[in-house]
Structure 1
Amino acid sequence: MFIPISKWAGFTCLILSALSVNAESLTRADALQIALRDNPDLMVARASWQAEKARALQTWALPPPELELEYEGMPGIFKFGQHVQRTVGLSQQVAFPVTWWQRHQAAQHLADAVYLSVYEVTRLNIARDICLAYDRALADQQILHLAEKHVQLSEEFFERAQTRFDAGDIPKLDVMRAEVAFVRLQSKLTVAKNTLSVSRSKINVLLGKLPQVAWVLADSLSYVPASFDLDHLSAEALRLRRDLRATTHTLQSAKARQSAAKLSFLPDVSFHIARQTTLGSTGPLKSWRTGFVFELPLWSMFEQRGKIVETSAQYKKAMAKTEQIKLRVLQEVHTAYIAFQATAQRMTLMQERIRPTAERAYSMARQSYDVGEVSYLDLLDVQRDVIEIGIEYLETLFAYRSAQAKLFHAVGKAPASLNTGNSK
């Protein structure tokens, strides 16, 4: 059983009409703005950064003060009213000021590192993903349109083959081959519809919306030639990459912890202020008492020395991690650059040779058909080649824009300027 293309087209129009009812227009800029506002992953990253900021704020706090209330000279345990002497005191422990400051600096630098390596990196990842998802949906939308045209041409080809077979011009095998090609293209059309639905749902997930929310994609999938210099991109990446900049704060945090560990030999001090009231024969006698308590680092060979060795190892680890991430950044830029160069060459061939040649071939076939030099079946065959090349062009264009977006991401830039001109 064969489904006429008119029914396929009517079904497609019905779907598109249903989607466009109450559907809002969505540009790339709108999608990026909504994603950076509502994406759950970004909310998680923001919460992680805020939690680290709160931990840094806690380092300003001193240990809780202690309030002392003491009764002496009582005839019984709970006979407070018959005491001879009462003492009301307040004590506070204070760390050495420089040690206190270094601990706060370590926590603050760690919070800054989380901001860059978690929150900012997540923002860039979302910007890249929404750009790729938007372009993928645009490409799938145009591929669906070409697939419908392909099915229509295949149906015409099959009908013509059937007519020629009835006239005795071609064997039954040619009709069967045309039938198989037609049914296969109907199957591919169904796949194209499903692929477009998946692409649209992926946009919704990145926007923090339900998968079935309908949008009308307002932008187009355009080709803008661009060229880049690898050395310039590498220098930009070393300056812009958030994860690499975060290692600077991680290194400073480790250095501050190391300094605080070295200062742990300096003792913390506790001061005590108390007011004493002594009941005598001449009446209550009131006096003040002030005291200071210093910690003695008698066991410094264990705890303090262990802290110094530990923080020194952490500092060396942070230095090695910084160099490791630097090399990884350069490698990612180099890989993304090579991938972009390859897709740019493919796009140039498609734009300058393959696509124009196919269009010229179709024009020549059309002229030959008009003067009776080729059959209609030959013309349909050329038209099918043009459509297949059109689908290949869209896939190549998406790969080109995808490679450019990934190159921008490797450098540490948001892919917001994909529609700009050449960049060096």
Structure 2
Amino acid sequence: MRRLLFIFLFMSTPCLLAQERLTLSKAIDEARQNNPDLKAKKYSIGLAEADQKRFGSFFLSNPEFEYESRSDRRYANQGEGGQSFSLSQEVEILGQQFLRRSIWSDRVDRTDAEINAFENDFVAEVKTSFAQLFAAQEGVAIGNAIVELNRQLAEGAERRFNAGDISQLDYNLILVERDRSIADQYGVESQLKSARAEFNRLLGRNADSSTEAVLDTTQPFQEYTLQQLTTVALEQRSDLKAHQLEESATGTNTTLSWMNLIPTPKFSIVLEKETSAFDRSNFTGNPSVVNGIDRLDDTDKLLNFRIGVSVPIVIPFLFGSNQADIQQAQVENRIANEALVSKRNTIAAELYSAFNRYQSARQSIALYQGINPRLDVNVALLTKGYQGGQIDLSALLVQKDRIFRTRLAYVDALLEYTAARAELERAVGGKLP
């Protein structure tokens, strides 16, 4: 009985059976491919490119074509009439179109940087969720071992109680321990279902998909300096690049607003055709001179071609003179400047916090790695002491609880380390050096 008891107490916790086992790298690849939030964010680059096409064309407005037909020969066979064709186009003469192209090129790049920043945060979220699922799986496995052990203890205690080998108090303690472990297991299994549902959501799967996280716990723990990571973060953080591009775009837009104070001329080309006919029936011709024509009609035709230009008159504070646009552009540029400063400060704070969290988690997991071998030694000593009658049942239960709690604490420390590393990667904007 004692030997069987320790087999259940100190055996390696079994892996959970699942339909599919996923490593972290495979999970990230699947999430990048299938997550609808990330896919929707990537589509936003199309909106920025559409705005670039809309506002980045050489001519800001479409050309205007005008046709006119006129005649006063409605009730008689004489009079004047004509047709005119005109084509006009506003032309920016100070190169505003090149500034607009620069603005929207920056904003397309800004949108791309925002997508990369979103993806970086998303990958960190997947890594954290993966670690939470792994920890929940380990918690269930350890909990199952605890429940099975307590059931074996209860069965053995019942036989020993009926035989009079143990007291009513010892028997009751074992029953309470058994029932408490079963109740705790319900909560642990619920946490596993919640962790799996959240992980499946990030992967674009159904919430109830059976998925098992397989975490490699053999990777060496790396050491970094805050200065080293700060340099990497300033180079890699896509959200910082997005703010820099927005500052550039708003600065160019301010220049464009000042240039728009200069009126934009409209050039036009006009083609006119006029015809006039008058009845001269009161004039009688000489047939010998005019070949028998006894009536004269006077018909004139005129073809006119001209080029014109019109320029708006700018009167500040009376007509629209772009003053409001200039003020708006200046304010937007100031906002972008302050937002860039704020983003740099935010990155520094995030990096400092993530670095300290990683350092603490790394030290904690290193301690637990040193504790685990001592647990194995304690197992051997407890086994020998219990089998030799040197340790009673109550002491065994206390030591059992400590050992299982220590193993659960190691799982929590592993979760914290994985989450802290993911947070540090998010803070530096990508992979760690």
The 2-side partners of 1:335 and 1:82 are apart by 90
The answer for unaligned runs of 5 or more in structure 2 is: 1-15, 277-297
Find the counterpart in structure 2 of residue 147 from structure 1: 143
> Could you tell me how far 1:343 is from its partner in structure 2?
1.5
The answer for unaligned runs of 5 or more in structure 1 is: 1-15, 418-422
> Could you tell me how far 1:165 is from its partner in structure 2?
3.2
Candidates 295, 299, 303, aligned match of 2:321: 303
The 2-side partners of 1:191 and 1:38 are apart by 30
* Cα 1:309/1:295, change in 2 over 3 Å: same
RMSD, matched Cα? 2.7
- 1:406 maps to a residue whose letter is E
1:174-211 residue CA offsets vs partner (Å, 9 max, x unmatched): 32222121111111222222222222221211111211
- 2:129 maps to a residue whose letter is A
Find the counterpart in structure 2 of residue 373 from structure 1: 390
Residue pair 1:96, 1:267 contacting (<8 A) in 2 also? no
What is the correspondence of 1:64-79 to structure 2 with a 5 Å cutoff? Answer: 64-76=62-74
The 2-side partners of 1:319 and 1:180 are apart by 64
1:2-57 residue CA offsets vs partner (Å, 9 max, x unmatched): xxxxxxxxxxxxxx66xx4xx34433222211211221111221222221221121
> Could you tell me how far 1:273 is from its partner in structure 2?
0.9
- 2:344 maps to a residue whose letter is K
What is the correspondence of 1:197-276 to structure 2 with a 5 Å cutoff? Answer: 197-222=193-218, 224-276=220-272
The 1-side partners of 2:67 and 2:339 are apart by 53
Residue pair 1:132, 1:405 contacting (<8 A) in 2 also? yes
Find the counterpart in structure 2 of residue 359 from structure 1: 376
Rg comparison, structure with higher value: 2
Q: Percent identity?
A: 21
* Cα 1:350/1:396, change in 2 over 3 Å: same
> Could you tell me how far 1:375 is from its partner in structure 2?
4.7
Residue pair 2:127, 2:422 contacting (<8 A) in 1 also? yes
- 2:340 maps to a residue whose letter is T
> Could you tell me how far 1:160 is from its partner in structure 2?
3.5
Candidates 320, 343, 352, aligned match of 2:361: 343
1:103-123 residue CA offsets vs partner (Å, 9 max, x unmatched): 232232223222212x11221
Candidates 315, 338, 342, aligned match of 2:333: 315
SS in 2 for 1:70: strand
Candidates 106, 109, 130, aligned match of 1:109: 106
1:341-368 residue CA offsets vs partner (Å, 9 max, x unmatched): 121222122111x333322211111233
What is the correspondence of 1:411-422 to structure 2 with a 5 Å cutoff? Answer: 411-414=428-431
> Could you tell me how far 1:326 is from its partner in structure 2?
0.2
Find the counterpart in structure 1 of residue 10 from structure 2: none
- 2:302 maps to a residue whose letter is L
SS in 2 for 1:309: helix
1:84 maps onto 2:84 in alignment: no
- 2:355 maps to a residue whose letter is Y
Which is worse superposed, 368-377 or 328-337? Answer: 368-377
Candidates 344, 349, 352, aligned match of 1:331: 349
The 2-side partners of 1:152 and 1:405 are apart by 35
The 2-side partners of 1:47 and 1:404 are apart by 29
1:39 maps onto 2:22 in alignment: no
SS in 1 for 2:260: helix
The 1-side partners of 2:230 and 2:176 are apart by 52
Which is worse superposed, 134-143 or 397-406? Answer: 134-143
Q: Is the helix fraction higher in 1 or 2? A: 1
What is the correspondence of 1:134-213 to structure 2 with a 5 Å cutoff? Answer: 134-213=130-209
- 1:333 maps to a residue whose letter is L
SS in 1 for 2:332: helix
Residue pair 2:89, 2:266 contacting (<8 A) in 1 also? yes
* Cα 1:175/1:303, change in 2 over 3 Å: farther
1:187-246 residue CA offsets vs partner (Å, 9 max, x unmatched): 122222222222222121111121122234454444532211111111111111111111
Find the counterpart in structure 1 of residue 13 from structure 2: none
Q: TM-score, normalised by structure 1?
A: 0.85
SS in 2 for 1:266: coil
* Cα 1:266/1:181, change in 2 over 3 Å: same
* Cα 1:196/1:264, change in 2 over 3 Å: same
Which is worse superposed, 209-218 or 38-47? Answer: 209-218
Q: TM-score, normalised by structure 2?
A: 0.83
Residue pair 2:314, 2:321 contacting (<8 A) in 1 also? no
The 2-side partners of 1:173 and 1:48 are apart by 68
* Cα 1:221/1:76, change in 2 over 3 Å: farther
- 1:73 maps to a residue whose letter is S
1:225-268 residue CA offsets vs partner (Å, 9 max, x unmatched): 22111111111111111111111111111111110011122210
The 2-side partners of 1:225 and 1:60 are apart by 50
Which is worse superposed, 119-128 or 162-171? Answer: 162-171
* Cα 1:399/1:48, change in 2 over 3 Å: same
Candidates 410, 417, 421, aligned match of 1:393: 410
Residue pair 2:134, 2:214 contacting (<8 A) in 1 also? no
SS in 2 for 1:374: coil
> Could you tell me how far 1:372 is from its partner in structure 2?
4.4
User: Number of residue pairs matched?
Assistant: 395
